[in-house]
Structure formats: C-alpha cells, structure tokens
Amino acid sequence: VSTYVGDRSSLRFRPKPPENMAHGKDRRPRKEIFNATGVSPLLQQYLGKPTSECSKSRVHTMRTIPIQWRPTGGVDTFHRTKSNKEEQEKILATHTSARNQWKEESKKQKREFARSLRALDREKESVLKGGSVGIGRHSLKLVSEYRRKEKNSKNSDMIRE
C-alpha cells in the first residue's frame, strides 16, 4: 500500500514503514546467501532437470533481502576480489621493467664516465708533453676561462635584477 509522504516540493510515494519500528533502526538491509546458478521453475521444467541448478556447480553470492517499505533492496552485492597471483604478477612486471631501466641507465652513465676520464687523460698527456711552457699555457687558459665564466654569471645576475 502506497501513501503520500511529505509536501508538494518533495512529492514521493513509497510503502509506509512499520509503525512499531523506532526511527534509525534497520537502516541497512540484511544480507543472505543467494545461489546465482539457480533457474526459474518454468525453465527447470522445460529442461527436464530435477534441481534448480540444472546440474551446474553452485555459485553463492551475497544478496540483500528486499524490504517491502524501502525503495531499494534485493540487489546483488557480490564483488570479485583480486587474487594474490594477479597482484604479484603486476608487482613483478613493474619491478622487472624498473630493474631493466636502471641497468640501461647505469650502463650509459658508466660509459659517459669512462669517456670523460679518457678525455682528461688525453688532455693531461698533451699538457705534459709540452713541458713547463705547455703547463703554463694550460694553467693560463684555465684561469681565463674561470674569469670569463665568473664575469658572465655576474652579467646574468645583473640582467635578472
């Protein structure tokens, strides 16, 4: 039996809740185990099967019990949980890809480091071959480069201000 509840702004019809129920109780619908493989009696008769599962294995899910005076109820609440295997495979895949990326980056850095060391060794040999004059020229070159960089950094600081 439907009764009008509320004023015109919130016009809604729904079954009236029991009078003896205190407000605030039974807010959540109760759950029951539901066999998801069950078929209707008519289909069961058509297939000629004695059981409602029709010789399939049972699949039990949790289902909310419909409540007469509530607008909702009787909805399947089953949610499949992920198995540990799926999560472990995901973690393994991300770990493997990260490890391979790390290996490639470390190889690249080692190559660059070795290349820079060889360049320094070549420069050292060329400076030492020139004797004391070669060492003096090289040190003068380093000092002039340092002063030029220092001057450029001061100019860029002045431009920023």
CA distances from 147 to 74, 138, 143, 154, 156 (A): 82, 14, 6, 11, 14
Q: Mean pLDDT per segment of 10 residues, for the chain of length 161 residues?
A: 58 64 61 74 72 68 69 54 81 97 98 97 92 92 93 76 61
Give pTM, 2 decimals: 0.37
First to last CA, the chain: 81
SS (H, E, C) 65-115: CCCCCCCCCCCECCCCCCCHHHHHHHHHHHHHHHHHHHHHHHHHHHHHHHH
Q: Look at residue 64 in the predicted model and tell me its pLDDT.
A: 74
- Supply the angle between the helices 131-160 and 84-129 in degrees, to the nearest 10: 130
Q: Look at residue 57 in the predicted model and tell me its pLDDT.
A: 72
Q: Which two tokens stand for residue 155?
A: 């100019």
Radius of gyration of the chain (CA): 41
Q: Look at residue 1 in the predicted model and tell me its pLDDT.
A: 41
**3-class DSSP state for residue 160?**
helix
Q: Look at residue 142 in the predicted model and tell me its pLDDT.
A: 93
